[in-house]
Structure 1
Amino acid sequence: MRKYSTKKCLLFPLSLLSVLVNLLLISCAENKISQCQKIILLTQKMAQESESYRRREDIKKVLQVADIFEETSQQMKKLKIEDEKLQEYQMGFADIYQGNADTTRQFVAALNDKDIDTAKLMQQQVQQLGKKEQEFGAKMKDYCQDN
């Protein structure tokens, strides 16, 4: 019969604990990555859907873009994101998309009313929101790639 020292008996549970902690850390990293992917996939879907409508002169098509922005904003808000920093990006994108929806509708209303000054202002606001979205996307990408 073999004698086991107390030190050897403690080593196994400690090494097992170490493995479990490492697995937990790895799963947290995957969790961050999967949460990033949720947001990225939704932003890519938004870009693809709206691109087909962007350069249209038909007001109904332009209003469909506003609907797409609003729908995407709602979908973004519903994503299950646990990472606090990613929640900031999630809500930021949701706000940007809602802003695009509202501004696009105001743009169409201004065109219908032949209010060129307001239409130009709304066009500038859409451009500003687009820049904000790009900056936001770049910051989130850096955060998601940082392990």
Structure 2
Amino acid sequence: MNLFLISCAETKISQCQKIILLTQKMAEESETYRQTTDIKKVLQVADLFEETSQQMKQLNIEDEQLQEYQKGFADIYQGNADTTRQFVAALNNKDIDSAKLMQQQVQQLGKKEQDLGTEMNAYCQED
């Protein structure tokens, strides 16, 4: 009976793949908009980040360490959504200082995302 229960549990690798696939999808979709100056498209990216944050939270991840990575990515994506919207608002209000600050925050979130991805990849490759 225990053997059956164990074989039904998802492996660490398959749980890693769920998170990785979602982060790759987000990276590919957001790359399309990186160089745009169209405010509507920038706001679409914010919506995409928020949507991906929600999708990340909804992944069924059992491994406790992977749950931390899952939460980290969800928080980063939500932070990107919020900061991007604040950036657009600052531009619309011609508040250059705030826009620069939001731009720095987006860059910091990007760095956090890279670091988290590197950390998670190392964890996923452990036996």
Bin for the TM-score computed over the shorter chain: over 0.9
Runs of 4+ in 1 over 2 A off after TM superposition: 27-30
Counterpart of 2:11, as a letter, is N
The 3-state SS of whatever aligns with 1:63 is helix
Q: Give the distance between the partners of 1:50 and 1:71, measured in 2 at CA.
A: 12
Counterpart for residue 12 of structure 2: 32
Counterpart for residue 99 of structure 2: 119
Higher relative contact order (CA 8 A, sep 6+): 2
Counterpart for residue 86 of structure 1: 66
- Shift in Å, 1:28: 8.9
Counterpart for residue 25 of structure 2: 45
Q: Give the distance between the partners of 1:135 and 1:47, measured in 2 at CA.
A: 14
Q: Which runs of 5+ in 2 are unaligned?
A: none
- How large is the Cα RMSD of the aligned pairs? 1.8
Q: Give the distance between the partners of 2:74 and 2:35, measured in 1 at CA.
A: 23
Counterpart for residue 3 of structure 1: none
Counterpart for residue 89 of structure 2: 109
Paired residues in the alignment total 125
The 3-state SS of whatever aligns with 2:11 is helix
* 1:55 pairs with 2:35: yes
Normalised TM-score (structure 1)? 0.81
